[in-house]
Every structure is written in C-alpha cells, then in structure tokens.
Amino acid sequence: MKKPPELSLADKAMLALTSAVAKVVENHRRQGKPLAVWRDGKAVWISATEAGALRESPPHTRPKADAKN
C-alpha cells in the first residue's frame, strides 16, 4: 500500500485556519455572542444565530502530486 504524499505547508496552514475559524464560530453560537465578519468591505456584527448559519465544510485540499491522477 502506498503512503499518501504529505500536505504542503500552505495546505496544513489552510486546514489549521479553517479549523480555528469553525471553533470560534461554534463557540460564539453556543454562547449567544455576536460575531464580527467582513461584508462588502466593512466589518459588521452578526447575531449568534446568523453565525451558526455560516457553517461551511472545510475545503478539500489535495496535495499537488495527487492532483495529476
């Protein structure tokens, strides 16, 4: 069985940032605190309910070596 290629540093950073943002949004939603986000080039506050609706699945990253297949 082949060992999958390692993720690049940029891919690892993107996964870490995505995970951190998801945790912050979830914590704000649970505590009912508003969350600051960018909208139309401005920082705005959104409700905890609206923050819960912002959940996105993390982007699927594939190492460049695997993308050729």
**Tens of pLDDT along the chain (69 residues)?**
677 789 999 999 999 999 998 899 889 888 999 999 899 999 999 987 887 676 554 444 444 554 444
Distance between first and last Cα of the chain: 16
The whole-number pLDDT of residue 59 equals 46
CA distance 31 to 9: 33
* Tokens found for residue 64: 């460049």
Q: What is the domain partition of the chain in residue ranges?
A: 27-54
Query: Residue 46 phi/psi, 5° resolution?
Result: -120, 155
Question: What per-residue confidence (pLDDT) applies to 60?
Answer: 47
pLDDT at 50: 82
